[in-house]
């Protein structure tokens, strides 16, 4: 009996049972099983355990648990929607936030305004302010694409209508090429009132933004925000409601 094959088979038996091994590995395992009683017995044992587990039924839901679940959901919703000064802005679609507006504005004037920054913790806020100002200064350049500080839903529709016919069309597999580094970097800071989901996304992605543009991604109107850190790039995809829909690496 080949000791190496034995160890390998021991490790892979459970995955083999589920058909989750490659063809080559399956051949190695099956050849070894022919010769090894211990592995055959272990396979049976794993099968028994898996069958015992899969034979178990889910217990019935406790009485009235659906009523209690709905009450809990309503209570959480009521709490979430309790009048608070920040609630209104927290509920706005993502791209109406100042930082996103700034990024969108910058994307529009990317070729005109070159912003070079050296990202460091101490200047992040300053950078964000800079980008805000940059966007405001850039505003007159893009009268036809009204990304203002407080855009209305209508303005977004206007942008979409204007650009719908001319959006860059991207599929998932286009992304690596699309992410070719752009030399200019812009650092944006997360607003304090960002929703947890956005915060999480930004904690996951480095704050160094390469690119921000509305595109047709896999056939859907989306916003693509590309960020990178130490050469590792990420693209965040926001859906047409401004909700984070995907993170691509």
Cα–Cα dist 209/226, whole Å:
6
Out of Zn ion, another protein, none, what residue 55 binds, judged by CB under 5 to 8 A for its kind, is another protein
In contact, 70 and 78? CB cutoff 8 Å = no
Nearest CB to another protein, comparing residues 148 and 243: 243
245 binds another protein (CB under 8 A): yes
In contact, 91 and 82? CB cutoff 8 Å = no
- Rg (C-alpha) for the chain, rounded Å, is 27
In this structure, what token pair is assigned to residue 173? 């597999």
141 binds another protein (CB under 8 A): no
153 binds another protein (CB under 8 A): no
In contact, 21 and 29? CB cutoff 8 Å = yes
Out of another protein, Zn ion, none, what residue 168 binds, judged by CB under 5 to 8 A for its kind, is none
In this structure, what token pair is assigned to residue 229? 């850190």
DSSP state of 207: S
Out of Zn ion, another protein, none, what residue 77 binds, judged by CB under 5 to 8 A for its kind, is another protein
Residues near another protein (CB under 8 A), total? 54
Site string for another protein, 27-66 (x = CB under 8 A): ----------xx-xxx-xxx-xxx-xxxxxxxxxxx--xx
Nearest CB to another protein, comparing residues 21 and 104: 21
Out of Zn ion, another protein, none, what residue 203 binds, judged by CB under 5 to 8 A for its kind, is none
Site string for another protein, 180-219 (x = CB under 8 A): ---------------xxxx-xx----------------x-
**Nearest-CB residue for Zn ion:** 36
Long-range contacts of 63-68 (CB under 8 A, 24+ apart): none
- Which residue's structure tokens are 């609630």? 87
Q: At CA 190, angle to CA 189 and CA 195, rounded to 5?
A: 175
CA-based nearest residue to 246, from 234, 228, 232, 233: 234
Nearest CB to Zn ion, comparing residues 35 and 126: 35
Cα–Cα dist 116/162, whole Å:
30
In contact, 225 and 233? CB cutoff 8 Å = no
Cα–Cα dist 170/177, whole Å:
10
Nearest CB to another protein, comparing residues 142 and 246: 246
Pick out residues in 26-65 that bind Zn ion (CB under 5 A).
36, 39
Shortest gap between Cβ of 51 and Zn ion (angstroms)?
22
Give residues in contact with another protein (CB under 8 A).
Answer: 11-15, 18, 20, 37-38, 40-42, 44-46, 48-50, 52-62, 65-66, 68-70, 72-74, 76-77, 80, 195-198, 200-201, 218, 239, 241, 243-247
Give residues in contact with Zn ion (CB under 5 A).
Answer: 6, 36, 39
């Amino acid at each position: 009996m080949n000791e190496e094959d034995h160890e390998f088979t021991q490790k892979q038996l459970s995955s083999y049972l589920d058909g989750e091994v490659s063809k080559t590995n399956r051949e190695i395992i099956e050849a070894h099983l022919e010769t090894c009683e211990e592995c055959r017995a272990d396979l049976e044992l794993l099968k028994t355990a898996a069958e015992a587990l899969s034979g178990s039924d889910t217990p019935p839901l406790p009485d009235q648990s659906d009523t209690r679940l709905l009450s809990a959901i309503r209570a959480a919703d009521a709490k979430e929607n309790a009048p608070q000064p920040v609630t209104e802005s927290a509920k706005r679609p993502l791209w109406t936030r100042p930082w996103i507006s700034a990024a969108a504005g910058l994307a529009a004037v990317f070729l005109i305004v070159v912003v070079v920054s050296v990202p460091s913790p101490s200047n992040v806020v300053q950078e964000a302010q800079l980008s805000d100002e940059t966007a405001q200064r850039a505003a007159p350049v893009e009268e036809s694409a009204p990304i203002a500080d407080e855009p209305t839903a209508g303005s977004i529709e206007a942008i979409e209508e204007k650009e719908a016919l001319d959006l860059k069309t991207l599929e998932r597999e286009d992304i690596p090429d699309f992410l070719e580094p752009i030399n200019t970097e812009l650092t944006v800071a997360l607003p304090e009132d960002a929703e947890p989901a956005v915060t999480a996304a930004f904690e996951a992605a480095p704050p160094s933004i390469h690119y921000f543009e509305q595109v047709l991604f896999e056939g859907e109107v989306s916003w693509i925000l590309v960020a990178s850190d130490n050469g590792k790039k990420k693209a965040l995809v926001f859906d047409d409601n401004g909700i984070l829909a995907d993170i691509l690496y």
